[in-house]
Amino acid sequence: MPVKRLRPITPGTRFRVANTFKEITASEPERTLTEPIKKSGGRNNQGKMTMRNIGGGHKRKYRIIDFKRDKQGVSAEVLTVEYDPNRSAFISLLNYTDGEKRYIICPNGLKVGQTVISGSGISPDLGNALALIDIPLGSIIHNIELMPGQGARICRSAGAYAQLTSKDGKYVVVKLPSGETRMILATCFATIGSVSNPDHSLEVKGKAGRSRWLGRRPRTRPAAMNPVDHPMGGGEGRSKGGQPRSRTGIYSQGQKTRDKKKSSNKHILVRRKGIRNK
């Protein structure tokens, strides 16, 4: 999906890099597959702010996405490719041969009119959902389950994909976008291809108001606060130095965040690349 740089007609469009949305084929969602979203504004049930920098934003409807792909052996035609305000990837509306309609995360390159299917013993074509044991080695996959029947948990954002590298007994080895290599049960399902909208990371909002439309309020830099408000606040002039840390004093760099006793640690063969893993 290409992006475009807008002409500087207004200050807000001077630095704007926008999505062209050429793949989008429908402007209204399927009403039977939408639900209302209740916003909290970062407040809890007592009305107290528990999360900062949240509030406002345009009204949205949630699109019910089929992450399990449990309608096996029934082919479906791709009706539309739609924009979803709740995620970075595009979604596709499927019309099954028995008349049921479902939304899925749209794979990159999936077109209207194509046919997709899920189940065992099917060909590993774009958009098809198979068990990992049935997918050929070296395949690009997304929407990966961590437990059989749980539904997709990995590689769901725009442009994300993983690669199936090897098979070992009841497990397969998958290399994830973070650089992590881990074992996943071979009976878990995944979808062939990468996620749509790979150029999402190239977009530039262009103005602060666009963040407000997304429900994000301004964030104050910790160095601009007073010592009573943040450990990094205070000082004469622009004071630097010390280790970056959170509002509660927890270091934000160089500290591992994963639990050492987590049961799934034994399935990780190569840790992800990052400053916290050195």
Q: Model pTM? A: 0.91
Cα–Cα nearest to 132, from 49, 189, 64, 213 = 189
Q: Architecture of domain 21-200 in CATH?
A: Beta Barrel (2.40)
What is the sign, positive or negative, of the torsion defined by CA atoms of 171, 175, 176, 179? positive
Please state, in angstroms and rounded to a whole number, the distance separating the CA atoms of residues 178 and 268: 12
Cα–Cα nearest to 231, from 220, 243, 219 = 243
Please state, in angstroms and rounded to a whole number, the distance separating the CA atoms of residues 56 and 249: 29
Please state, in angstroms and rounded to a whole number, the distance separating the CA atoms of residues 202 and 73: 38
Please state, in angstroms and rounded to a whole number, the distance separating the CA atoms of residues 212 and 58: 8
**Tens-digit pLDDT string for the chain (278 aa):** 589 999 999 999 999 999 999 999 999 999 999 999 999 999 999 999 999 999 999 999 999 999 999 999 999 999 999 999 999 999 999 999 999 999 999 999 999 999 999 999 899 999 999 999 999 999 999 999 999 999 999 999 999 999 999 999 999 999 999 999 999 999 999 999 999 999 999 999 999 999 999 999 999 999 999 999 999 999 998 888 888 999 999 888 888 888 999 999 999 999 987 655 54
Could you tell me if 128 and 150 are in contact, meaning their C-beta atoms sit under 8 angstroms apart? Answer: no
Q: What is the DSSP letter of 82?
A: E
Provide the residue ranges of all domains of the chain, joining segments of one domain with +.
Answer: 21-200
What is the sign, positive or negative, of the torsion defined by CA atoms of 62, 67, 70, 71? positive
pLDDT the model gives residue 275: 52
Collapsing DSSP states into helix, strand and coil, what is residue 136? coil
